[in-house]
């Protein structure tokens, strides 16, 4: 049988990816430019026995998603800037209680209500640090409809593997753009199912007692084991404590389980990097313009290459360090005032050689914008 | 089983002040569940943040201690995830009708099968005695040193108006009645609200010179009356207690099961 091919919006590809990954529960509140995800899932989820609920706001949506995930269902919400701000406290709860959840943020212009229908990538740092307290989190992004599908499946897999919320940080252009999607067949991509405890009914189950390999098997909430879940600092029983040693160990665990795996969590693509003297780093829809510019410059035999980041957090600092070793110049292309640029500067030996090509006016950055910035850096002839 | 068999004694002593009404409410809740014959594994307690919310940790059921004000939203996810579970929420003033007020009215509107036990002590206890939306005009609190300028919600009217299909009120003085009412509320299919007037002698009582816990509970005896009583007709100031409203209407999870059927037929 030939592969199933579709012509879809990014938001629709996200729906396809979520369903492929086994999404069973979605709660959301309408917000531009993510609304199509909720609309489509309201039709698709009940067809396969899943649940869709439109809540009274984004806060309630994220809370319902956590509640449903605890009962054993793969769960997701989707929102944009203002809604993403509202759910930060609940994202922290999912971090603290180690509840697998997927959060889609189709970015629009900000701050505040900003530019609801225009593109921006201003929520990169918010994805990392939006909720209070020391923590770590996984954030993925994509620059094509096919990759939106793949990264959505990946988000579910990683959230189940590491018991963490995973942010899918898309943007208005990639969310609304239409492109070809080749739908993988069932089984073609491996799906990670939740690690459930082997502790039998009637035996004490410790929800926050790690196995030897560091993983914490779950027990579906409301099932055969009764335990406590709290957003307070907690012990192996899930019961609140202020014990300094327990507190320290919990915080280290929450951060280290992801930060120590930054290399293996790095998803990326590279183009023409082998001999590149100029390395362009980009993510999300601006990758398309950066790649366009790189291909034009290659035709002029310019040694320009592109590193596309698909994992933004934990930040792939080692990858960037390695790929930029030979670079004379590094140009970060992003639609904000340099949120990833600052991280790149920290990752390379010579931060003075890191430059930014951006747009923050709600207009999509083009290959001409990228080349104009390169011209400023490298002089004429580009 | 005895009441103590429903408690996680490992986590005692509990954190409440001497004379707090929360223990009485917790006791009534346990007795109601015992009377209904539910197994421990069938019952979920979801709470938010505050003194009342700490009840969840001490109870040997499935317990979810969530964010301030968001207990009903988390519970909605749990209930929709596993509709066969009995989900009960002990909510304080803030969780129920302040920061949680929006979720309260929408849970009522949806008529989702959750039981909200609103433990109304008229104060924010855990943060040290600030006024709440249930404190009432003119009352004293640490953030109302000259008397509260805010009026109080009537929880019963609010719940009814928002669409709750079971609405009742009782007090910590009337513990046997509380048990009966909670029993009916939990058995009811739909969103049920039980307001329990409960004493906070440490803050509300002290600030408003109401005496100790015994005096405060006697006050509930004196100032409340069964719904529609002769005493109420003679003295309209009295607060009515009992079941105000009980209605059969489509429950959210059952209605959603029909949506699934419809979606799968298309």
User: What CATH number has the domain spanning A4-183?
Assistant: 3.40.50.970
Asked if A148 contacts A13 with a C-beta cutoff of 8 angstroms, the reply is: yes
For residue B168, the cross-strand partners are B194, B243
Using DSSP bridges, classify how beta strands B166-171 and A51-54 pair: parallel, antiparallel or unpaired.
Answer: unpaired
Parse chain A into domains and list their residue ranges. 4-183, 266-378
Q: What is the per-residue burial (b if ≥16 Cβ within 10 Å, else e) of A349-376?
A: eeeebbbbbbbeeeebbebebbbebbee
Residue ranges of B 71-110 with Cβ closer than 8 A to chain A: 73-82, 85, 102-103, 106
Cα–Cα distance between A7 and A9 in angstroms, integer? 7
Question: Which of these, B92, B103, B193, lies nearest to B134 by C-alpha position?
Answer: B92
The DSSP symbol for A194 reads P
Q: What is the structure's pLDDT at B148? A: 98
Cα–Cα distance between B32 and B55 in angstroms, integer? 15
Instruction: Judge: B41–A224 Cβ closer than 8 Å, yes or no.
Output: yes
For A148-187, the pLDDT digits (tens) are: 999 999 999 999 999 999 999 999 999 999 999 999 999 9
Task: Identify the segments of chain A with pLDDT beneath 50.
Answer: none
Cα–Cα distance between B47 and B70 in angstroms, integer? 8
Instruction: Kindly list the averaged pLDDT for each block of 10 residues, start to end, along chain B of length 266.
Output: 95 95 98 98 98 97 98 98 98 98 98 98 98 98 98 98 98 98 98 98 98 98 98 97 97 98 94
Q: What is the structure's pLDDT at B99? A: 98
Question: Which of these, A134, A67, A159, A103, lies nearest to B65 by C-alpha position?
Answer: A67
Query: Which residues of chain A have a CB within 8 Å of the CB of B41?
Result: 222-224, 226
Shortest alpha-carbon distance between residue A93 and chain B (Å): 8
Instruction: Judge: A53–B61 Cβ closer than 8 Å, yes or no.
Output: no
Instruction: Judge: A226–B61 Cβ closer than 8 Å, yes or no.
Output: yes
For residue B7, the cross-strand partners are B59
In chain A, which residue's Cα lies nearest the Cα of B57?
A228
Distances (CA, A) of B236 to A9, A118, A290, B178: 62, 58, 75, 23
What is the arrangement of strands in the sheet containing B86-91, beginning at the earlier edge strand? A228-230, B62-65, B43-47, B86-91, B114-120, B192-197, B166-171, B239-246, B224-226
CA dihedral for A149, A150, A154, A157, sign (positive or negative): positive
Q: Does A268 touch chain B (CB under 8 A)?
A: no
Cα–Cα distance between A139 and A95 in angstroms, integer? 13
Nearest to A63 among B61, B66, B79 (CB): B66
Q: Does B67 touch chain A (CB under 8 A)?
A: yes
Q: Residue B122: helix, strand or coil by DSSP?
A: coil
How crowded is the C-beta side of A25, counted as CA atoms within 13 Å?
Answer: 25
Asked if B161 contacts B136 with a C-beta cutoff of 8 angstroms, the reply is: no
Task: Tell the CATH topology of B15-265.
Answer: Rossmann fold (3.40.50)
Nearest to A27 among B61, B75, B77 (CB): B77
Cα–Cα distance between A64 and B253 in angstroms, integer? 14
Q: Does B10 touch chain A (CB under 8 A)?
A: yes
The DSSP symbol for A38 reads H
Cα–Cα distance between A360 and B255 in angstroms, integer? 46
Instruction: Judge: A67–B102 Cβ closer than 8 Å, yes or no.
Output: no
Q: What is the structure's pLDDT at A2? A: 62
Among the residues of A163-243, which ranges form H helices? 172-176
Distances (CA, A) of A265 to A17, A139, A159, A311, B181: 19, 10, 12, 7, 53
Q: Residue B43: helix, strand or coil by DSSP?
A: strand
Query: Which residues of chain B have a CB within 8 Å of the CB of A55?
Result: 73, 76, 106
Q: What is the structure's pLDDT at A381? A: 58
Query: Which residues of chain B have a CB within 8 Å of the CB of A68?
Result: 77-78, 80-81
Q: What is the structure's pLDDT at B266? A: 80
Nearest to B67 among A63, A75, A226 (CB): A63
Instruction: Judge: B263–A71 Cβ closer than 8 Å, yes or no.
Output: no
Q: What is the structure's pLDDT at A214? A: 86
Instruction: For the full predicted model, state whether its pTM sits above 0.90.
Output: yes
User: What CATH number has the domain spanning A266-378?
Assistant: 3.40.50.920
Q: What are phi and psi of A243, to 5 degrees?
A: -60, 125
Place of tokens 């640029």: A341
Q: Residue B178: helix, strand or coil by DSSP?
A: helix
Query: Which residues of chain B have a CB within 8 Å of the CB of A223?
Result: 41
Residue ranges of A 8-67 with Cβ closer than 8 A to chain B: 25, 27, 43, 46-47, 49, 51, 53, 55-57, 59-61, 63-67
Asked if A120 contacts A240 with a C-beta cutoff of 8 angstroms, the reply is: no
Cα–Cα distance between A168 and A14 in angstroms, integer? 9
Q: Establish, for the pair of chains A and B, how many residue pairs have beta carbons separated by less than 8 Å.
A: 130
For residue B133, the cross-strand partners are none
Parse chain B into domains and list their residue ranges. 15-265
Q: Does B256 touch chain A (CB under 8 A)?
A: yes
For an interface test with B, give the residue of A43, A48, A64 to mutate (most B CBs within 10 A): A64
């Amino acid at each position: 049988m030939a592969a199933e091919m579709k012509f879809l919006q990014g938001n629709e590809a996200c729906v396809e990816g979520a369903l492929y990954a086994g999404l069973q529960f979605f709660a959301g509140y309408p917000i531009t430019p993510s609304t199509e995800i909720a609309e489509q899932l309201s039709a698709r989820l009940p067809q396969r026995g899943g649940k869709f609920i439109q809540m009274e706001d984004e806060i309630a949506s994220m809370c319902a998603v956590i509640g449903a995930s605890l009962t054993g269902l793969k769960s997701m919400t989707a929102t944009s800037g203002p809604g993403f701000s509202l759910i930060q406290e609940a994202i922290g709860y999912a971090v603290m209680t180690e509840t697998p959840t997927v959060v889609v943020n189709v970015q629009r212009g900000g701050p505040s209500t900003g530019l609801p229908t225009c593109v921006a990538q201003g929520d990169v740092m918010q994805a990392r640090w939006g909720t209070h307290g020391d923590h770590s989190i996984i954030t993925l992004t994509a620059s094509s409809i096919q990759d939106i599908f793949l990264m959505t499946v990946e988000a579910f897999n990683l959230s189940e593997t590491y018991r963490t919320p995973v942010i899918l940080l898309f943007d208005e252009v990639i969310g609304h753009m239409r492109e070809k999607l080749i739908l993988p067949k069932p089984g073609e991509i491996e799906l990670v199912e939740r690690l459930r405890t082997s502790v039998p009914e009637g035996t004490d189950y410790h929800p926050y007692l790690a196995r030897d390999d560091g993983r914490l098997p779950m027990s579906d909430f409301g099932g055969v084991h009764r335990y406590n879940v709290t957003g307070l600092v907690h012990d192996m029983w899930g019961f609140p404590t202020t014990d300094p040693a327990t507190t320290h160990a919990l915080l280290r665990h929450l951060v280290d389980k992801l930060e120590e795996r930054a290399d293996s969590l790095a998803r990326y693509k590279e183009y023409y990097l082998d001999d590149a003297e100029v390395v362009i780093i980009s993510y999300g829809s601006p990758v398309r313009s950066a790649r366009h510019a790189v291909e034009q410059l290659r035709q002029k035999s310019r040694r320009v290459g592109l590193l596309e980041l698909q994992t933004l957090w934990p930040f792939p600092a080692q990858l960037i360090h390695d790929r930029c070793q030979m670079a004379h110049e590094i140009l970060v292309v992003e639609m904000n005032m340099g949120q990833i640029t600052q991280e790149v500067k920290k990752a390379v030996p010579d931060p003075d050689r890191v430059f930014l090509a951006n747009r923050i006016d709600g207009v999509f950055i083009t290959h001409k914008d990228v080349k104009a910035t390169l011209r400023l850096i490298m002089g004429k002839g580009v | 089983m005895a009441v103590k068999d429903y408690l996680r004694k490992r986590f005692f002593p509990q954190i409440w002040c001497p004379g707090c009404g929360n223990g009485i409410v917790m006791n009534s809740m346990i007795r109601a569940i015992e009377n209904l014959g539910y197994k421990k594994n069938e019952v979920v307690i979801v709470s938010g943040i505050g003194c009342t919310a700490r009840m969840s940790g001490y109870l040997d059921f499935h317990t979810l201690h969530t964010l301030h004000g968001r207990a009903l939203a988390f519970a909605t996810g749990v209930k929709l995830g596993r509709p066969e579970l009995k989900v009960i929420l002990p909510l304080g003033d803030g969780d129920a009708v302040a920061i949680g007020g929006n979720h309260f009215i929408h849970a009522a509107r949806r008529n989702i099968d959750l039981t909200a036990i609103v433990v109304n002590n008229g104060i924010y206890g855990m943060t040290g005695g600030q006024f709440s939306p249930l404190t009432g005009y003119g009352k004293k609190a640490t953030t109302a040193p000259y008397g509260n300028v805010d009026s109080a919600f009537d929880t019963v009217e609010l719940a009814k108006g928002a669409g709750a299909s079971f609405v009742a009120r009782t007090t910590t003085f009337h513990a046997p009645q509380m048990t009966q009412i909670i029993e009916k509320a939990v058995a009811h299919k739909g969103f049920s609200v039980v307001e329990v007037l409960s004493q906070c002698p440490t803050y509300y009582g002290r600030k408003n010179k109401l005496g100790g816990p015994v005096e405060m509970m006697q006050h509930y005896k004196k100032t409340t009356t069964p719904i529609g009583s002769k005493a109420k007709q003679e003295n309209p100031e009295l607060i009515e207690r009992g079941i105000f409203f009980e209605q059969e209407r489509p429950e959210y999870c059952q209605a959603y099961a029909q949506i699934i059927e419809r979606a799968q037929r298309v």
